[in-house]
Each structure stands twice: as C-alpha cells, then as structure tokens.
C-alpha cells in the first residue's frame, strides 16, 4: 500500500504518540513486575511466619493442656482442630494468591518482552497493529486485576490461650487431709500372762490449718521379733492387724510368747483416709516356752513331748508318799493359768506373774509350770543348763531326783 505524501507527517506524529504511550505502559509494567515480585516475597514470608506462629500458639496450647491434665484433652483436640482449620484456610488463600501472582507475573513478563520488541518495529503498519494488541492485552492482563496485598495475615493472635484461671483452680486442689500419727504411751502398756495391753495418745490437733477432722477409729498392727530395733525387726514376721478400734487402747489376748519382743504400731483414721503409722514400739515378753529334750535327758527319765515319766524307788528318809505305791509318776507341763497350790521356798519362773502348782498324790507326781527356756530342763548336768534354769529344775523334780540319784 502506497501512502500519500501529506499523510506521512500525520503518521509520524501518531507513531510518536504511540511510542510515548508504550513507554508509559512499559514503565507501568516494570513497576507492576517489581510489585509482583515483592508481593510473592511477602507471601512466602507470610507462609513462613504462619508456620512459626502456628507452632508457637500450638506449643502454648500444649503447655496449657498439659497443666490442665487429661481432663481437658478432648477440649484441647477441638481447639487444635480450630487452629488447623484456620491455618489451612489461610494457607489455601495464600497459595491461591501465590498461584495467581505467578500467572500474573508470567503474563506481565511476556507483555513486557513483546512491548520491547514492538519498539524495534520500523514498519508503521506493523507497529500500529502491535501497539493495538499490546493495549488490548494490557487491559485484560491479570496483573492489573490482581490485588497486590495478601488476602490474610500471618497473625494468629486470636488463638492465643491463657488458662491461668483454670490453673489457679487446679492449684487450689489439695490432698485429702489425714490424721497425724498417734503416740504409743509405753507407760500405760502392760505385758502379762500371754496378754498385751497397748495404749496410745492421739496426735495434738492444735493448729486449725492442720485440722484433719474427727478420728473415727484406729488400726493396730503387731508382729513378733527377736530384736527391739524396728529396723532389724522389719525383715521378720509380717504384721497382723486389728481394725476398727474405737478406744485409745486395746488388749490382745491369748498370745504365745515364743519370741523375745513384740512390735506394735498404730494409726488413726478419719472419714477421708488413714494416716501414717506411729513409730513402732517393742515390748519385751519376759517369759516364753521351753521344751524337754529327750536326747539329753537322764537315762531313767522318759520324755514324751511335754511329759516326763520315771519309776519311783523306795528310799530311806524320803517322802512317804513316794513309797506308798510302786507305780509310775509323771511330770507334765501346762500353761501358767492352771494353778492348784504353791510350793513353798521355791522361786517362781516369772516374777509376779507366773505361779507353779504341784499335785503329788501317792500314786504319781504331777507339776505344772510355765515353760521358759528352749534348752531341756532334763539334762541331768547342771553345767549345761541355761541361765536361770537351775532353780526351775531343782524345784521341778524336787525330792524325786534325790530318789533317783541315791
């Protein structure tokens, strides 16, 4: 196509005008390009900040939930879900903006490249056509329709938790109040005739802050021991219990004093729970059982369990009751509670508590004692007797021994 000579100046002016317009567009696109790059960087930083803030508030939540213990675990899961949903919602919006921004940036870069190439076109017709296309593409370009501000912020302060009020409530929780240990009153305790009476004093509840409520009952425990030390006795027999004691003392009957000591301890109970035990107290059992040893007995004595028998012999000057009949006489041991008569000038086995009775019919000799030593009293050799057993043996056999040895 051939242009008329008078049209050339007009086209030149139009071309200059279009170039100026393109330069303005290029400047605008460059600014937009920079703005988009800044926007993408901001979105990336927002995502990082969102992750950091999410971790922070989640950590705070976990700390609070740990303080509230498992009772609030279900509620904690609900709060976690809310945070996750909000986090996912914000992430989705930011990811969408990130994708749109990348598309807009790519479109803007293409337009910028096309516009730069258009500036190099020398043909007016091609230049005008390209300029028109650039205008249309710029008008419809997504970069100019995209909001260059993050749709959401990284702030998650609305999910900040503070359970100080609830924690204060938990801190007011206390252990159940229990009574303090009673104190065993040794001066009121009595050991006598296989019975033990244990008495104690309740702990002083003078302070109102330490008031534990009225005592409902006591619980006593006891066990036998060979030592008076509670530490050494701890490894010995198991504790036996007496529960629901309403008074401040109790008597334990029909005990078998086959150990040197008996350990006692007591504790108080209120409506809530039982308190600590008192310090164990050792009480000495001053008499305990012994047995007859057939292996070390005199040859003329016959030992059968706790019975000793012998054949009486006629001895001049001896008790006529022993010479009345030529029959066996026996010696049996029984509890100290069976007493018929006291033998004069004989030392009792337990001072003040044991009595020894004899019943010596003409046909047999019978004696009852409280057995005290584990060694046999029938050895016949005074050198082998344990301490204190000599008087028992001399009194136990009495004149019958003289009849055997003469």
For 93, the domain range is 9-171
Q: Is the pLDDT of residue 17 over 80?
A: yes
Answer with the one of 284, 319, 334 that is the final residue of a domain.
Answer: 284
CA distance 171 to 168: 5
User: Over the chain, what is the mean pLDDT?
Assistant: 72
Beta strands at 307-310 and 329-332: parallel, antiparallel or unpaired: antiparallel
| Same-domain status, 312 and 386 | yes
| Same-domain status, 223 and 298 | no
pLDDT at site 392: 42
**Residues 335-383: pLDDT tens digits?**
333 333 333 333 333 333 333 333 433 333 333 333 333 333 333 433 3
| Same-domain status, 224 and 313 | no
Domain count, the chain: 3
The better pLDDT of the pair 320, 339 is held by: 320
Residue range 247-270: mean pLDDT, rounded: 88
Answer with the one of 243, 259, 284 that is the final residue of a domain.
Answer: 284
pLDDT level of residue 91 (50, 70, 90 thresholds): very high
Lowest mean pLDDT among 47-61, 84-98, 176-190: 47-61
For every residue of 36-76, DSSP letters joined together read HHHHHHHHHHHHHHHHHHHHHHHHHHHHHHHHHGGGGHHHH
pLDDT at site 5: 59
pLDDT at site 288: 53
Lowest mean pLDDT among 144-158, 272-286, 326-340: 326-340
289 within a domain of the structure (yes/no): no
Which of the 8 DSSP states describes residue 222? E
Residue range 369-398: mean pLDDT, rounded: 39
**% residues pLDDT > 90 (the chain):** 14
| pTM score, whole prediction | 0.38
Query: Which of 47, 36, 233, 225 has its CA nearest to residue 148?
Result: 36
- Cα end-to-end distance, the chain, whole Å: 174
The better pLDDT of the pair 227, 76 is held by: 76
Q: Is the pLDDT of residue 271 over 90?
A: no
pLDDT at site 287: 62
**Residues 157-197: pLDDT tens digits?**
888 888 788 778 878 877 678 889 999 999 999 988 788 99
| Same-domain status, 141 and 225 | no
pLDDT level of residue 205 (50, 70, 90 thresholds): low
For every residue of 327-375, DSSP letters joined together read --EEEE---TT----BPTT---SSTTT---EEE--SS--EEE-----SS
2 within a domain of the structure (yes/no): no
pLDDT level of residue 268 (50, 70, 90 thresholds): very high
The domain that holds 254 is classified in CATH as 2.60.40.10
| Same-domain status, 311 and 385 | yes
| Same-domain status, 107 and 225 | no
CA distance 180 to 200: 13
| Same-domain status, 197 and 246 | yes
Q: Is the pLDDT of residue 206 over 50?
A: yes
The better pLDDT of the pair 184, 31 is held by: 184
């Amino acid at each position: 196509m051939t242009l008329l000579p008078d049209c050339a100046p007009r086209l030149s002016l139009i071309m200059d005008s279009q170039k100026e317009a393109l330069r303005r567009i290029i400047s605008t696109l460059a600014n937009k390009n920079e703005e988009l790059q800044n926007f993408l960087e901001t979105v990336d930083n927002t995502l990082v900040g969102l992750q950091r803030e999410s971790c922070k508030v989640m950590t705070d939540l976990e700390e609070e939930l740990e303080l509230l213990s498992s009772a609030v675990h279900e509620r904690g899961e609900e709060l976690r879900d809310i945070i996750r949903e909000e986090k996912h919602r914000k992430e989705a919006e930011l990811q969408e903006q990130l994708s749109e921004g990348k598309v807009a940036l790519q479109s803007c870069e293409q337009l910028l490249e096309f516009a730069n190439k258009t500036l190099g076109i020398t043909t007016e017709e091609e230049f005008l056509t390209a300029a028109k296309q650039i205008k249309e593409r710029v008008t419809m370009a997504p970069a100019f329709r995209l909001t260059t501000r993050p749709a959401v912020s990284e702030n998650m302060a609305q999910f900040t938790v503070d359970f100080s009020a609830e924690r204060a409530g938990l801190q007011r929780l206390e252990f159940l109040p229990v009574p303090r240990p009673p104190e065993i009153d040794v001066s009121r305790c009595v050991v006598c005739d296989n019975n033990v009476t244990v008495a104690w004093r309740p702990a002083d509840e003078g302070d109102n802050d330490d008031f534990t409520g009225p005592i409902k009952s006591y619980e006593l425990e006891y066990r036998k021991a060979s030592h008076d030390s509670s530490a050494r006795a701890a490894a010995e027999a198991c504790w036996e219990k007496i529960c629901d004691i309403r008074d401040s003392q109790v008597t334990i009957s029909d005990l078998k004093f086959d150990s040197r000591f008996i350990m006692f301890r007591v504790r108080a109970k209120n409506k809530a729970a039982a308190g600590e035990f008192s310090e164990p107290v050792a009480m000495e059992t001053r008499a305990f059982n012994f047995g007859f040893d057939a292996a070390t007995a005199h040859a003329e004595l016959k030992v059968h369990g706790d019975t000793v028998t012998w054949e009486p012999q006629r001895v001049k000057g001896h008790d006529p009751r022993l010479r009345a009949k030529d029959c066996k006489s026996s010696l049996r041991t029984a509890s100290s509670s069976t007493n018929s008569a006291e033998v004069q000038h004989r030392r009792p086995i337990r001072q003040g508590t044991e009595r020894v009775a004899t019943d010596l019919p003409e046909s047999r000799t019978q004696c009852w004692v409280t057995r005290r030593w584990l060694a046999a009293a029938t050895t016949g050799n005074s050198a082998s007797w344990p301490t204190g057993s000599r008087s028992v043996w001399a009194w136990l056999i009495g004149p019958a021994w003289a009849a055997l040895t003469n």
